[in-house]
């Protein structure tokens, strides 16, 4: 086996990093920055994508298992979706009001998501979770918000994991509980003393740096029962998971339906859009709140979303993602064992998270992802990854050939 140890060309990427640092605080910020938190071979800037592959600005090619951190659910440059968006673009995007796609998309969401009687739109996941929370407060007349500890629901002052610039007052109405722990949730309810406006949860626990944890049926049904008992809104945050687990709703498998669901990321295959859908009981409250944005009614993203959801439905995109994800998980597990590593993979196969046993400082997983990236396989050392309907079994087979070399290189750095 020949080990590829020469770093890929990074001339253009390096120059753009320097230029960005001169004019942008931190260079690149948020979850997409690679400075100080990613392997050295990880590119920062990209030029294009097609299907399940991306090319960085130095024209290095990668099989991409990040999908732009989730939005690319049907593959980069999907011709059907891009054609729908382009057809609206020539007519106009931000107009004096919404396009016909506004109504078409709302109708499609109501037809697709099992609990939805209405839909509202915005531009990103933080918008969507915020709209749901404000709607819950408008309906209930209460203030407290219950959320799972460490759960990420957006980048506003309520939810951000970074306390810089956030005051205690910004978080005063949040009470936390442990995921999959109904006793902990009941304790949070008691602490709120009858003032719970909403309980917000993700379909499974997907906190960065930690093993993902699937929800139990008992917990899912318990959240629904508790919210109903105390008259609070139950909000399911599917910003990250939407349309990758179940088109009708992530907790349909448990027979559990929320009062509202927040979507973004994959809803429009990379075009900026978010949505909140809800049941009839919250429709009047949703109509009463004031939320808006100059770009929220843009027709291009809505046309793309109609095409995306229709394509995923008609081609059973979730089945395709699951097949590729299952093959990749099985292959990685077998390779890790063959090279003497204990590899832990958690979460749904379409949104995998991986770590190495006895690797608290992340040295092995950083070395492995560094070796994989140099071989053209884009993996992440501490964040969950994503599959799209464009990932084929051939893509997985090619990626596994390269990850086998990456495991071998990592073993050479960490001998038994």
Give residue-wise pLDDT tens across range 386-396: 999 999 999 99
Domain shared by 254 and 397, yes or no: no
Domain shared by 321 and 310, yes or no: no
Domain shared by 25 and 116, yes or no: no
Domain shared by 226 and 143, yes or no: yes
Residue 7 binned pLDDT confidence (cut-offs 50, 70, 90): low
Residue 1 lies in a domain: no
Domain shared by 94 and 28, yes or no: no
Residue 25 has pLDDT above 60, yes or no: yes
Q: What is the mean pLDDT of the chain?
A: 95
Domain end residue (candidates: 284, 315, 346): 315
Return the CATH number at 94.
3.40.640.10
Residue 2 has pLDDT above 60, yes or no: no
Residue 306 lies in a domain: yes
Domain shared by 394 and 306, yes or no: no
Closest CA to 317 of 249, 384, 268, 245: 245
Residue 3 lies in a domain: no
For residues 73 and 4, the model is more confident at 73
Domain shared by 105 and 220, yes or no: yes
Count of structural domains within the chain: 2
Residue 286 lies in a domain: yes
CA distance 416 to 411: 8
Domain end residue (candidates: 315, 336, 365): 315
Residue 239 lies in a domain: yes
pLDDT of residue 3: 41
Rounded mean pLDDT of 230-251?
Answer: 98
pLDDT of residue 386: 98
pLDDT of residue 105: 98
pLDDT of residue 1: 35
Domain end residue (candidates: 292, 315, 338): 315
Q: How far apart are the first and last CA of the chain?
A: 19
Residue 8 has pLDDT above 80, yes or no: no
Q: Which residues make Cβ contacts (< 8 Å) with residue 249, sequence separation at least 6?
A: 113, 114, 115, 236, 238, 257, 258, 261
Residue 39 binned pLDDT confidence (cut-offs 50, 70, 90): confident
- DSSP for 214-252 reads EPPHHHHHHHHHHHHHHT-EEEEEETTTTTTS-TT-GGG
Domain shared by 105 and 233, yes or no: yes
Give residue-wise pLDDT tens across range 296-309: 999 999 999 999 99
Domain shared by 127 and 214, yes or no: yes
Q: Which residues make Cβ contacts (< 8 Å) with residue 157, sequence separation at least 6?
A: 165, 166, 167, 170, 171
Residue 6 lies in a domain: no
Residue 122 lies in a domain: yes
Return the CATH number at 383.
3.90.1150.10
Q: In the 8-state DSSP scheme, what is residue 398?
A: H
Residue 2 lies in a domain: no
Rounded mean pLDDT of 212-237?
Answer: 98
Domain shared by 155 and 302, yes or no: yes
pLDDT of residue 157: 84
Q: Which residues make Cβ contacts (< 8 Å) with residue 370, sequence separation at least 6?
A: 39, 40, 41, 42
Rounded mean pLDDT of 18-25?
Answer: 94
Domain shared by 291 and 328, yes or no: no
In the chain, what percentage of residues exceed pLDDT 90? 90
Given a contact cutoff of 8 angstroms between Cβ atoms, the answer to whether 54 and 46 are in contact is yes
Domain that holds residue 384: 11-69+317-413
Give residue-wise pLDDT tens across range 362-387: 999 999 999 999 999 999 999 999 99
Residue 398 has pLDDT above 90, yes or no: yes
Rounded mean pLDDT of 152-160?
Answer: 87
CA distance 390 to 375: 20
Domain shared by 311 and 324, yes or no: no
Residue 4 binned pLDDT confidence (cut-offs 50, 70, 90): very low
Residue 58 has pLDDT above 80, yes or no: yes
Give residue-wise pLDDT tens across range 110-155: 999 999 999 999 999 999 999 999 999 999 999 999 999 999 999 8
Q: In the 8-state DSSP scheme, what is residue 253?
A: G
């Amino acid at each position: 086996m020949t080990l590829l140890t020469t770093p890929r060309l990074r001339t253009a990427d390096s120059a753009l990093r320097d230029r960005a640092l001169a004019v942008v605080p931190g260079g690149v910020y948020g979850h997409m920055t690679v400075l100080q938190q990613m392997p050295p071979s990880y590119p920062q800037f990209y030029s294009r994508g097609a299907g399940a592959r991306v090319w960085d600005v130095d024209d290095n090619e990668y099989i991409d298992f990040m999908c732009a951190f989730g939005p690319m659910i049907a593959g980069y440059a999907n011709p059907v979706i891009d054609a729908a968006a382009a057809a609206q673009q020539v007519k106009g995007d931000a107009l004096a009001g919404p396009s016909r796609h506004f109504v078409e998309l709302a109708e499609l969401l109501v037809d697709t998501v099992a609990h939805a009687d209405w839909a509202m739109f915005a531009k990103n996941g933080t918008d969507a979770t915020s709209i749901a929370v404000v709607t819950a407060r408008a309906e209930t007349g209460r203030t407290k918000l219950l959320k799972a500890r460490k759960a990420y629901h957006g980048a506003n002052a309520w939810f951000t994991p970074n306390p810089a610039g956030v005051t205690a007052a910004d978080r005063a109405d949040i009470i936390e509980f442990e995921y999959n722990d109904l006793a902990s949730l009941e304790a949070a309810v008691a602490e709120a003393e009858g003032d719970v406006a909403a309980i917000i949860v993700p379909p499974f626990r997907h906190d960065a740096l930690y093993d993902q944890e699937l929800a139990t049926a008992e917990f899912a049904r318990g959240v629904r029962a508790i919210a109903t008992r105390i008259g609070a809104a139950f909000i399911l945050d599917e910003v990250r998971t939407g349309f990758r687990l179940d088109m009708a709703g992530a907790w349909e498998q448990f027979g559990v339906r929320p009062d509202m669901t927040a979507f973004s990321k994959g809803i429009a295959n990379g075009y900026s859009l978010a949505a909140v859908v809800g049941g009839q009981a919250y429709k009047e409250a949703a109509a009463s709140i004031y939320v808006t944005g100059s770009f929220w009614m843009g027709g291009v993203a809505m046309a793309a979303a109609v095409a995306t959801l229709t394509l995923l439905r008609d081609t059973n995109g979730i089945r395709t993602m699951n097949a590729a994800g299952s093959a990749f998980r099985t292959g990685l597990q077998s390779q890790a064992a063959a090279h003497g590593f204990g590899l832990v993979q958690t979460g749904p196969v379409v949104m995998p998270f991986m770590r190495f046993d006895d690797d608290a400082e992340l040295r092995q997983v950083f070395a492995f992802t560094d070796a994989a990236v140099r071989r053209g396989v884009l993996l992440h050392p501490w964040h969950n990854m994503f599959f799209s309907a464009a990932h084929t079994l051939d893509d997985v087979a090619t990626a596994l050939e390269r990850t086998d070399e990456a495991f071998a290189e990592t073993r050479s750095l960490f001998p038994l």
